[in-house]
Structure formats: structure tokens, C-alpha cells
Amino acid sequence: MKPHFRRFDLRLAHNWMVASSQRSGGKSVYPAVLVELRDKNGVIGYGEAAPSLRYRETAQTCVEFLSRVDAGRLSFEDVSGSMRQVESLSRGNFSPKGALNIALLDGAAKRRGQPLSEFLGLSFAEGKHVSSITIGLDSPSMTRQKVREAGSVPHIKAQGQLAA
């Protein structure tokens, strides 16, 4: 198995702020890591690590963890065994472990010629699933604008509003 991973920045449509980030003014960029696993037959599985400060993760710690993974012990044919090996490397590192898990499952599904949802036995159908978004702290007028932009999203979670 050949691994490849790269750090990239997701540009957010709006500044993201929650109570704990009010002093810093929130953020407009979210760092992430794309994981690509390619087997000897050219099948590629993709995953994404979205590091969480709650777990003391950064894009850099994700890259460092991924660099320690022995890709020769990963296999689309044995996702469970591959994940046992990944889990044995350390405690924590939830985001890069999740990215590897998704990449392994994506590759396993592609080997069978199935969409990932079907491979996992999910009854996903385009246009029939429910989604939600979270709107971060902002002024009342900006919060209203973000809600309008959300359009027909059926579930919206608002973090609150800053004083006007």
C-alpha cells in the first residue's frame, strides 16, 4: 500500500467563532489533512483528517502520526486488521485514525465496485438524506444572513449571538 497525505487549508464561507474563540476573533481557515491510500492494483481510497483542538490535534500532529504508520501493514482486504494495527500505535490521534479508517473503507468499497454507502449497508439515496449546519457566534444581523444563506437545510444549530 502506498500512502500519500498532504496538509491543506479549507477556506470557510464565514468566520467561525464559538465562545472559546471570542478573544481571538474566530477563524476563517480550517487546516485539514487529505489521506490517500493506493494499493498495488491502483485502487485509491481517500480520507480526511479534521484535527480538533479539543483532543490537542493540529494538522501537524496529524501528519506526524500518519508518518509513523507502516503502510505495508494496511490493506483494503482487511480493514479491521489494518485498523487494529493503526490503533496500536498510540492513544488519541482520533482525526488521523479516522482519516485512515475512511480511506481504507473507501478503497475496500471501490475494490468491490460499490459506493461507500452501499458497502456499509446504508440506505443512502441522493436527495433523500437529512443534513444540518451549525452557525457560529456572530452579530444578530450576520446570524440572520447566515440563516438565509442556509436555504432549505432542515436543521440549523446556532451558537448564539454577540451583543449588538
Span 64-75, pLDDT tens digits: 999 999 999 999
Residue 156 lies in domain: 130-164
DSSP E strands, the chain = 2-16, 27-38, 44-49, 132-135, 155-158
DSSP secondary structure letter of residue 26 = -
50 and 84 together in one domain = yes
Q: For position 23, what pLDDT does the model report?
A: 74
Q: Which residues lie closer than 8 Å to 121 by C-beta, 6 or more apart? A: none
Average pLDDT over residues 127-145: 81
Number of domains in the chain: 2
What is the C-alpha separation between 90 and 56, in angstroms, rounded?
14
114 and 139 together in one domain = no
Among 31-35, 37-41, 55-59, 134-138, which is the least confidently predicted range?
Answer: 134-138
17 and 75 together in one domain = yes
104 and 70 together in one domain = yes
In a domain, 157, yes or no: yes
Q: How confident is the model at residue 149 (pLDDT cuts 50, 70, 90)?
A: confident
In a domain, 124, yes or no: no
8 and 34 together in one domain = yes
Enter the pTM of the model: 0.82
In sequence order, the β-bridge partners of residue 8 are: 32
106 and 158 together in one domain = no
In a domain, 125, yes or no: no
